[in-house]
């Protein structure tokens, strides 16, 4: 039997190392993708609740502002100077509500963008895991075909040759 060459041993070692490395990483990558997807789902739920709370809070603030304005106009409807001050205060309060709404909308949109990044990262990890599994399968097939070719070569080399140069030995004869 012919010894295996050094480059073949190195190649075999690398294939096994890559194969083992891919298998270990694929499961970790899939678990990480699942964890990121779970975080993304919980974040989406929290963002929906945040949005609903903001809408309810804005509605309540507008309602309270309107009631306060109506109460002031009823009390001071005959005083033009005070009515002008109430109108200015009402407009200023509405402007603050709108500014707060823009700021919270910006925060909400950034959070939604981050949610997209989480989901994109999870999808990338899944693709990476699947590619790792495919690479592992290819390495196994290659390794299997290489070992099969080696086995065939060994089997061919160990069979007795027939032809002119081969001695024919009968079981009762001594070959010498």
Report the alpha-carbon distance of residue 86 to residue 99 in Å, rounded: 20
For residue 159, what is the DSSP state?
Answer: S
| 16, 143 contact by CB (below 8 A) | yes
Check residue 11 and give its pLDDT: 56
Q: What is the pLDDT of residues 95-123, one digit of tens each?
A: 999 999 999 999 999 999 999 999 999 99
Q: CA distances (Å), 39 to each of 33, 36, 122, 128, 132, in order?
A: 10, 5, 10, 19, 24
Q: What is the pLDDT of residues 21-71, one digit of tens each?
A: 544 578 888 888 899 899 999 999 999 999 999 999 999 999 999 999 999
With residues binned 3-state (H G I as helix, E B as strand, rest as coil), the percentages for the chain, rounded to 5, are 85, 0, 15
Query: Can you give the residue ranges of every domain in the chain?
Result: 10-155
Share of the chain above pLDDT 90, in %: 42
Check residue 22 and give its pLDDT: 47
Residue 169 pLDDT > 70, yes or no? no
Report the alpha-carbon distance of residue 95 to residue 129 in Å, rounded: 51
> pTM here?
0.57
Average pLDDT of span 78-86: 90
Residue 94 pLDDT > 90, yes or no? yes
Report the alpha-carbon distance of residue 81 to residue 99 in Å, rounded: 27
Check residue 171 and give its pLDDT: 52
């Amino acid at each position: 039997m012919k010894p295996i060459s050094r480059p073949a041993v190195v190649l075999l070692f690398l294939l096994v190392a890559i194969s083992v490395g891919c298998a270990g990483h694929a499961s970790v990558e899939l678990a990480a993708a699942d964890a990121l997807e779970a975080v993304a789902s919980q974040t989406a739920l929290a963002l929906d609740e945040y949005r609903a709370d903001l809408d309810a809070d804005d509605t309540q603030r507008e309602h309270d502002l309107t009631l306060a304005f109506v109460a002031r106009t009823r009390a001071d409807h005959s005083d033009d100077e005070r009515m002008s001050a109430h109108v200015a205060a009402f407009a200023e309060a509405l402007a603050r509500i709108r500014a707060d709404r823009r700021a919270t909308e910006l925060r909400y949109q950034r959070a939604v963008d981050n949610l997209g990044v989480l989901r994109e990262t999870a999808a990338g990890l899944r693709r990476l895991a699947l590619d790792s599994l495919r690479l592992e399968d290819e390495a196994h097939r290659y390794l299997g075909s290489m070992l099969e070719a080696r086995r065939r070569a060994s089997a061919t080399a160990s069979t007795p040759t027939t032809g002119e140069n081969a001695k024919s030995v009968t079981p009762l004869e001594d070959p010498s």
